[in-house]
């Protein structure tokens, strides 16, 4: 049996990655635009984006010299379906997720 949920929950455990997901809820973004408001290096942002991509939470696409990032909610849906098995959780409401992610303060270095 393939464990696809562990990378999702591990990715969501980090506040910087949650901040990035909140940004990508609004629109697709270039990596440099993702990095601009964060208080970490571009290399650090790239590492976070790699974790999110490996977890299936985002997709990255090179367009010329620019790498664009796009939210992929399917991994969140899979996690939601798993949590529903406990009978305590509703399906993922992307608007509620966005509100939660916006309330999470960005990490400070």
Q: What pLDDT digit, counting tens, does each position of 82-107 carry? A: 777 776 555 667 777 777 777 777 66
pTM, full prediction: 0.75
With a CB cutoff of 8 Å and minimum separation 6, the contacts of 8 are 55, 56, 57, 75, 76, 78, 79
Per-residue model confidence as pLDDT tens digits over 28-37: 999 999 999 9
**What's the pLDDT tens digit per position in 49-74?**
999 999 999 999 999 999 999 999 78
Query: What mean pLDDT value characterizes the chain?
Result: 86
For the chain, domains (ranges, CATH) are: 5-85+94-99 (1.10.10.10)
Cα 39 to Cα 16, 45, 85, 108: the distances in Å are: 10, 9, 38, 6
């Amino acid at each position: 049996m393939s464990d696809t949920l562990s990378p999702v929950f591990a990715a969501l455990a980090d506040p910087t990655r949650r901040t990035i997901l909140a940004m990508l809820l609004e629109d697709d973004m270039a990596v440099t635009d993702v990095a601009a408001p964060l208080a970490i290096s571009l290399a650090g942002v790239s590492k976070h984006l790699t974790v999110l991509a490996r977890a299936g939470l985002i997709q990255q696409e090179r367009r010329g010299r620019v790498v664009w990032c796009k939210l992929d909610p399917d991994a969140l849906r899979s996690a939601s379906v798993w949590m529903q098995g406990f009978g305590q959780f509703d399906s993922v409401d992307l608007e509620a997720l966005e509100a939660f992610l916006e309330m999470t303060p960005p990490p400070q270095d």
